[in-house]
Structure 1
């Protein structure tokens, strides 16, 4: 009952704009029906719930969406209610496939905010961008998150239309948790996703949620509602939920934390964070970065004493763009960027 209450409350209170990404003028509809579902055993009731969730994600969106100008010729393919592929008029010059950016936004990200990051790649570099949104259910019931991660990996697998692109991952806040679930999949079934793993060339993390269960509960409450009255109630309810269903939640969070500290990917990483972020403990972030460096991972960091969770590009556009440009230049993924207007 508590599970349904929390998931139902998050559905009613979550910011509506974050569920709908901006769509330019040309829109086509695809399908995720061929994507692999999660492996493993589960009871029939749980399987039924997961199937309902998957069907909901794959259901075409019929409601109107905001139209934003991302530049002439940009097209979007709607693969599901939460996944969209944006393509520039033409990929980067040369015969080899352009890098594909997997963009994992923060929960409730407004379309105009996401558009700023799309422009960095679509207009600045003419790289296609695959945007995969998160739902609170992916976090509160991690089995759904693992299923979602498996479907995303299936979409990127060799043999499909996206199977030849070099990959760059750009994850924000809870989007980092979605990618952690993808890394759990990579680690648990390397034979199924070896090609995807080899094609991931770089990782960009912005405003990772770093801390303990209290920080996670605070993050859920802040991502779900802006009401200062409801946030404490949701935070306490989420903590109670974690304690009552620890075998179905906390153990998965620990696996995601473990895979972040000992990642199966050793490609270079760029990390954006600030010291006043209530959802990202700077001490924990420092420990995480130290563990990566100790493992031989090349890490670049852009940090600020004062900024805003998932708002660094808006507050410090020059610093953000400069750090991203330098990182991508070192990766040598394509021609230099054409400066996009932020």
Structure 2
């Protein structure tokens, strides 16, 4: 896969404290703070990108530019460790804001969903809210045409993933936070753990029946192939087409860095198979 050409200036705009929009060129539209609706839509398709925990903007921008170079806008949804630990006042508020944005910006179509790590949990929270009023949110679901899951993490991996995200180079602090996270999940079952369980169940059963691409690696303790394979089996039983790319060695939420050519090859093939490239005026990957 040749590197993408015609790289243009990418601007970012903070929509909320947890939502950042990436677009080509200068973003000039005002955003209604109550509805999160753009007064002058860009007319571009959208990628809804569910970020990993503690993701740095410079790293997210590398993924966003893959899509902005194709003419997409990219909405990155990111959560904090505190929001993860206290879902009712944290991740569920972010889920409601994300839904409000998608519902009120109807010109964003098609939508590609690209999630990393804990982003799978966050999207489960979004689906739970949609499932309570399917008549209202069916127009949002119908606009999502395909999904990509990179190192998706299930609730069983929260005590592993949270400490590694916050203290990547400090094993002693990782151990301390792992012990606290286990304590937190046991002590605050009704305030936290039950919500993780509901989100996980929703992610496994899913109301989004669109083709999916999974990226996993055997040496990833946070998003292991075992939990991702369980999701794959559930989805295939529901007649969802799943493509599974598994490496022996890679890095959690950094497969693009370790295996760039292969990652992009699988990604573009998936977008092409789902009709995304054609729908945005790109007949084939050769145009990229």
Q: TM-score, normalised by structure 1?
A: 0.72
Displacement after TM superposition at 1:76 (Å)? 2.6
Q: 2:72 aligns with which of 99, 104, 127?
A: 127
Q: How many residues in Structure 1 have an aligned counterpart in Structure 2?
A: 261
- For 1:308, what is the secondary structure of its paired residue? coil
Question: Runs of 5+ in structure 1 lacking a partner?
Answer: 1-69, 91-95
Aligned equivalents of 2:15, 2:155: Cα separation in 1: 33
For 1:152-167, list aligned pairs within 5 A: 152-157=98-103, 160-161=104-105, 163-167=107-111
2:163 alignment partner in structure 1? 221
Displacement after TM superposition at 1:82 (Å)? 2.4
- For 2:214, what is the secondary structure of its paired residue? strand
Greater shift in the superposed pair: 225-234 or 312-321: 225-234
RMSD: 2.1
**Structure 1 residues 211 and 108, CA, compared in 2 at 3 Å: closer, same or farther?**
closer
2:19 alignment partner in structure 1? 83
Greater shift in the superposed pair: 265-274 or 183-192: 183-192
- Does 2:280 align with 1:280? no
**Structure 1 residues 163 and 150, CA, compared in 2 at 3 Å: closer, same or farther?**
farther
- For 1:249, what is the secondary structure of its paired residue? helix
CA contact 1:97–1:166 (8 Å) conserved in 2: no
**Structure 1 residues 328 and 113, CA, compared in 2 at 3 Å: closer, same or farther?**
same
Q: TM-score, normalised by structure 2?
A: 0.85
For 1:261-300, list aligned pairs within 5 A: 261-300=204-243
Aligned equivalents of 2:53, 2:236: Cα separation in 1: 29
- For 1:204, what is the secondary structure of its paired residue? strand
Deviations 1:286-341 (A, max 9, x none): 2211111011001111110111101100000011000000000011123145787x
1:74 alignment partner in structure 2? 10
1:5 alignment partner in structure 2? none
Aligned equivalents of 1:296, 1:241: Cα separation in 2: 37
- Does 2:115 align with 1:171? yes
CA contact 1:277–1:307 (8 Å) conserved in 2: yes
Deviations 1:180-221 (A, max 9, x none): 111111112213312111111111100011362xx2112111
Aligned equivalents of 1:148, 1:163: Cα separation in 2: 21
Displacement after TM superposition at 1:73 (Å)? 4.2
- For 2:16, what is the secondary structure of its paired residue? coil
Aligned equivalents of 2:242, 2:159: Cα separation in 1: 28
Aligned equivalents of 1:274, 1:210: Cα separation in 2: 15
- Does 2:87 align with 1:142? yes
**Structure 1 residues 163 and 153, CA, compared in 2 at 3 Å: closer, same or farther?**
farther
Aligned equivalents of 1:189, 1:136: Cα separation in 2: 28
Aligned equivalents of 1:111, 1:223: Cα separation in 2: 15
Aligned equivalents of 1:277, 1:327: Cα separation in 2: 23
